[in-house]
Amino acid sequence: MQITFLGTSSGVPTRSRNVSSVALRLPQRAEVWLFDCGEGTQHQFLRSEFKSSQIRRIFVTHMHGDHIFGLMGLLASCGLAGNHQQRVDIYGPPKLNEYLNACRRYSQTHFSMPIKVHTVEPGLVFEDAEFRVVCERLEHRVPAYGYRIEERDRAGHFDVDRAKALGIPPGPVYGRLKQGEIVELPDGRRIRGGDLCGPPVPGRKLVYCTDTIFCDRAVDLASQASVLIHEATFSHQDADLAYQRLHSTSTMAAQVALAAQVNQLIMTHFSPRYAPGNAIELKDLLEEAQAIFPNTLMAYDFLTCEVPRPVEKSLAVST
């Protein structure tokens, strides 16, 4: 699992930061899942290594423009490219489908690939054999949801050499043993698959929370996450603005991470007011958060990180 930040500004883009969007790459299945799609996201795609044809799922947190204004353009471009044949599933709050239908109607846009919009409610959003996605209602001025992506645990390493030493012939039986089944061999021996496998490999957990003020539901959603991506629109010194606009400060994001006992916090969705040279700069927000939760990073556009497994201690970051 690899995350890339395509936009890390709040409200409006700046010269160095686009508005909200995070891409989750699943290399084992050549898929990209997108979380929010602010204006200009398709341009960020062109500057990245992603291909729009790999987009399979898009998760929208809420209906504010800096999180959805790029959605229609991205979908239209995918269709015009003609190389996107598989269905794109879009998950989001009420009115999302109505918004997209209105955009299509008034712009007379036709998508060449199938689109399915799912209205989310707190609870299970999606699951398959490898992943499970749940959402929870956050605290914002409009209905807003955070998402938790859980990778299912995998069977431990299968000891092929030991299996051969026991005289177990290679073939389909190995697959059954890898799954922990008890297999009876032609000579009557019963072999427990669990005896030939190492401990299960725990799945990773990624949580995405924006936009919201501090709330207990965010803590519950983020519990024991490998990585928590949380908005930090304001500095602690501007907490009054955060309460007025129902956004988080850097210290609120850190408090969620601390209470949820996550492995890593990555802050995003920064107000443009903290530009270099101003009285408060982004580096001050990072210091505020790290005073509470030391394992905190500050996202920037095109920051790419591998989501670590629970046994790992830190992210592998590339630029």
Q: Which residues are catalytically annotated?
A: 66
Cβ burial, residue 156 (10 Å; 0-12/13-18/19+): middle
Count of other CB atoms within 10 angstroms of residue 216? 10
Tokens of 157: 């390493």
Whats the size of the chain, residue-wise?
A: 319
46: enclosing H helix or E strand: helix 41-46
Amino acid letter for position 116? K
Q: Which residues pair with 316 in a beta bridge?
A: 306
Count of other CB atoms within 10 angstroms of residue 106? 8
Residue from 282, 284, 254, 280 nearest 269 by CA: 282
Tokens of 137: 């209602």
Cis amide prior to 187 (ω within 30 degrees): no
Amino acid letter for position 92? G
Residue from 157, 147, 169 nearest 57 by CA: 147
d(CA 71, CA 53): 15
- In DSSP notation, 109-177 reads ---SS-EEEEE--SEEEEE-SSEEEEEEE--SSS--EEEEEEEPPBPPPB-HHHHHHTTPPSSHHHHHH
User: Vertex 74, ends 207 and 300: CA angle to 5°?
Assistant: 45
What's the distance, CA 237 to chain centroid? 29
